[in-house]
Structure 1
Amino acid sequence: MSEFNLGQSLKGVPKFLNLNTLSAGTLAAIFGCTGPALIVIGGAASGGLTHQQAISWLFAIYFFGGLLGIYLALKYRQPIAGAYSIPGAVLVAGALTQFSLNEAAGAYFVAGVLVLILGVTGLIGKIMRWIPLPIVMGMIVGAMIRFGTGMITSIEAAPLIAGSAVVVYLLSSRYLKKVPPIVSAFVVSMIVALLLNQFKMGDVESGFITPQLVMPSFSLDAIVSIAIPLALLVIGAENAQATGVLMAQGYKPPVNAMTVWSGIGGIVTSFFGGHNANIAGPMTAICSSQEAGEKKEGRYAAVIVNGTLFASFGLFAGVVVPFVSAMPGVLVATVAGLAMIGVLLSSLQAAFSDSKFQIGAFFALIIAMSGVSFFSVSSPFWAIIGGVVVSLIIEKSHFTVKSEETKRDETAGVEVV
């Protein structure tokens, strides 16, 4: 991997800033700043936080998540997007009814430290080298397929808005070669939604709010209930998904570095009442997809766009939240599903094109699709565990072949992390 050269990376951004990278980065930001932000706001309200504390939470995860993505994209010139764990927000929302914000912040801090240690020791990189690629890709399909099915259910819920997006996407793919079809689909569906008066402004308070500092306090119960599951979510859900989609698109993601910076992000955000800033699975999938352009070496520019919008959203969360909440959910769901088509296709091919680890990959797919959650840890983590266990039982001989291939790659100096 080439040494970090900030000047050279920054110099390449204007070269790769085009309609594809701009649209992919903007779409990823719209996706991340709509439904997920409302989950945080709802969780803060149910957890008894004030509006100011909720906005500080949003500031922490979006501002530092955006900066994290920009830094890693420039350093590695890969579309590694930063945000936060959406399942983690749900986990934290339930825990806030039992613990004070200061105790929760202490648990966030500990979760960040745990993730940081796993990255510094290189343990995550070693594990990812050992886990078979088809199983990782099966998990990606299972975890991301909800975007595809969400597109179809959106057509049922709002046929004019969602249907127009799908039809325009298909026609643009066929006839408009110079315009990314996702852009045409988004613009037309936005116009249809406006004509149907589907943008509804809520009663959310609006105005610039200064982020609040939160001093962590440490409770063993909070650490067990929040820190450990949150650390597993960051590693087993977000980082694993991002790593998988990057591999599916032909990148060699820096797994250990992604883990280290996810840990640092968790430590920093804890002082503002935020549960973690880490690598983002869905946003990385959008920014690394073919929708971000044919030149894979330039797709990192989409993350620069996404990260800039994320950081701006976090900084001005108190002002923009009411406008974001007005956007129809079916519009966002449909366009996000269209953006995931390339990721899902490449992941399916990587999961089932080879004869090895097929049963393990299948179990990884269906476990991730099921959405099960054990011990507050969501399905992507258990999909990898289940897929590996199944392959160890039924396809054990395939691991011997994989081990020999990995040794040959390391001997030849091939970068596998």
Structure 2
Amino acid sequence: MPPQTQGFEASRRSLWRDLSPSTVTAGLVAVLVGYGSSAVIIFQAAEAAGASQAQIGSWLWALGIGMGMTSLGLSLRYRMPVLTAWSTPGAALLATSLPGVPMEEAIGAFLFSAALITLCGVTGLFGALVKRIPPALAAAMLAGVLLRFGIDLFATFETQWPLPLAMLLAYALGRRFVPRYAIVLVLLTGVVISAAQGQLQLDGIALTPTLPVFTAPSLALSTLIGVGIPLFVVTMATQNLPGITVLRAAGYPAPSSPLIGWTGATTLVLAPFGGFALNLAAISAAVCLGREAHEDPARRYTAGVAAGAGYLVLGIFGATVTALFAAFPAELVMALAGLALLGTIGNGLAGAMADPEQRDAALVTCLFTASGVTLLGIGAAFWGLLAGMAMLGLHAWRR
């Protein structure tokens, strides 16, 4: 088990000792997974709001700076790998709901949603809810969220089999001989093979800092209800809930209320620059929670620190670095994510199925979550957990 929460000073004193190549690599892989999987949705959401190129760059700046500050600061403060992310479902929601909405009103909706999230964190309402979630269902939801990444790893064989096969072989050899650096070996193997095949498209990429653009908010009741409230619900139900359960399923005593409060407060500050929603990460955080990051769980927090530093760099050079990530072939990103998450998927499945009394409910939660369906604008993770809780309730009522 990781150590109990300790102060910032203790974290700072031991940081350089606890850093290792494997935790740094895990943090950078988490950044790659986070950006590589959904950066394009941010462009779609910003364009839906009528953002200029400068404003789109500002959105990337605000999100990168926000994720960097919170990931780095919270990982140091609580000595656990706390990663934050932008709300990908929230971005998808904005891409469909912002057309025709003035940018000033969109910023007002971002602020309104952030205020509601902050209120949930400060009052402890979110923490009270999380304490009622059985560990088996939390593990099942984690496995369900990550399952498609494991499947996508093998789906890449259909389009580009030499690359994922070489990466899979590197992973197997790494786990056998150098388990701490297995993902380092996988990443290097993928980059070398992609370069040898001429698949790294690095031409025309220039290193240029991104300048933030401030937009004064405007509060319109229709936009607050039609955009702000759905953004709040989607972020809490499909992002923060899986994010806190991922940490707890990995054995970390994550204090939900402060973590939620800090993400909401940071969003409040950065919303006028385009930071529409920051939340606890689940998928990218899982990369830093397994033994691949480090054999010692107490040292994995440095993966969160490394991810935070990576996000800060991405924020400063927002559009440039996003183009760099886009230069990697999709198969490399998918295979890297799947291999980095194999251990966490296995642990989630093991925890979900360990108790025969809860196995049916956990299986329903896992499969419902893995389905990826969206009902009433809310993602599958929330509904999968709700279905599993309902099954447990019915089982207890029968008894």
TM-score by length of 1: 0.90
Whole-angstrom distance in 1 between the partners of 2:235 and 2:285 = 14
Superposition pairs of residues 70-81 of structure 1, within 5 angstroms? 70-81=72-83
In 2: Cα distance, 1:215 partner to 1:383 partner = 39
Name the stretch that deviates more: 356-365 or 298-307. 356-365
- Letter of the structure 2 residue corresponding to residue 33 of structure 1: Y
- Counterpart for residue 121 of structure 2: 119
Whether 1:82 aligns to 2:113 is: no
- The equivalent residue for 2:290 is 289
1:146 lines up with 2:136 in the alignment: no
- State the partner residue of 2:348: 347
Amino acid at match of 1:132: P
Q: Distance in 2 between matches of 1:321 and 1:206?
A: 11
**Cα shift at 1:4:** 5.2
What is the alpha-carbon distance in structure 2 between the residues aligned to residue 209 and residue 26 of structure 1?
Answer: 21
Task: Return the alpha-carbon distance in structure 1 between the equivalents of residues 334 and 52 of structure 2.
Answer: 29
Match of 1:243 in 2: 244
> 1:374 maps to what in 2?
375
What is the Cα deviation at residue 204 of structure 1? Answer: 8.2
CA contact 2:152–2:338 (8 Å) conserved in 1: yes
Q: 1:180 to 1:32 in 2, by over 3 A?
A: same
**Equivalents in 2 of 1:363, 1:227: separation in Å?**
31
Alignment of 1:316 with 2:312, yes or no, is: no
In the aligned structure 2, how far is the partner of 1:46 from the partner of 1:150? 29
Distance in 2, matches of 1:3 and 1:17, equals 18
2:385 maps to: 384
1:265 alignment partner in structure 2: 266
Structure 2 spans left out of the alignment, 5+ residues: none
Q: Quick check: 1:16–1:298 contact (8 Å CA) kept in 2?
A: yes
Partners of 1:295 and 1:84 lie apart in 2 by 28
- Separation in 2 of the partners of 1:136 and 1:4? 25
Which whole-Å deviations, capped at 9, do the CAs of 1:31-66 have from their partners, x for residues lacking one?
A: 223232222124323543211111111111111111
For the residues of structure 1 that align with 2:173 and 2:36, how far apart are their CA atoms? 27
**2:34 corresponding residue in structure 1:** 32
CA contact (8 A) 1:269 1:277 kept: no
Q: Give the alignment partner of residue 103 of structure 1, picking from 102, 105, 108.
A: 105
Q: Decide whether aligned partners of structure 1 residues 279 and 200 sit closer, same or farther in structure 2, where only a CA change above 3 A counts.
A: same
Q: Please state if 1:299 is matched with 2:288.
A: no
Return the match for 2:165 from 147, 160, 163.
163
Task: Tell me the alpha carbon deviations over residues 194-213 of structure 1, each in whole angstroms, 9 at most, x when there is no partner.
Answer: 11111225878973331111
Comparing 374-383 and 202-211, the one that deviates more? 202-211
Task: Verify: 1:336 aligned to 2:337, yes or no.
Answer: yes
Gaps of 5+ in 1: 399-417
- Residues 3 and 131 (structure 1 numbering): CA distance in 2 closer, same or farther, change over 3 Å? closer
Query: Hey, what does 1:255 align to over in structure 2?
Result: 256
Q: Aligned to 1:83, what secondary structure does the other structure show?
A: strand
What is the aligned length?
Answer: 397
| TM-score normalised over the length of structure 2 | 0.94
Pairwise CA distance, 1:115: 1.1
Mapped partners of 1:362, 1:4: distance in 2: 36
Question: What amino acid is aligned across from residue 147 of structure 1 in structure 2?
Answer: F
SS in structure 1 opposite 2:80?
A: coil
Q: Which amino acid aligns with 2:45?
A: G
Aligned to 2:192: 191
Aligned to 1:6: 8
Aligned partners of 1:57, 1:204: CA distance in 2, in Å? 19
Alignment-mate amino acid for residue 300 of structure 1:
Y
Residue 60 of structure 2 is aligned to residue 58 of structure 1: yes
Structure-2 change in CA distance of 1:2 and 1:140 (3 Å): closer
Q: Which amino acid aligns with 1:105?
A: I
Tell me, yes or no, if the aligned pair for 2:207 and 2:317 is still in contact at 8 Å.
no
SS in 1 for 2:288: helix
Kindly tell me: are residues 202 and 389 of structure 1, through their superposed partners in 2, closer, same or farther at Cα, counting changes over 3 Å? Answer: farther
The CA RMSD over aligned residues, in Å, is 2.0
2:214 counterpart residue number: 213
Aligned-pair CA distance for 1:262: 2.0
Cα distance in 2 for residues equivalent to 1:81 and 1:352: 27
Distance, in Å, in 1 between the alignment partners of 2:359 and 2:210 is 52
SS in 2 for 1:278: strand
CA contact (8 A) 1:147 1:333 kept: yes
Fraction of identical pairs, as percent: 27
Deviation (angstroms), 1:219:
2.0
Per-residue displacement from partner, 1:250-294 (whole Å, max 9, x unpaired)? 111111111111211221221112211221111211111111101
What amino acid does structure 1 have at the position aligned with 2:126?
Answer: I
Q: Deviations over 1:222-247 (max 9, x none)?
A: 22232222222322222222222222
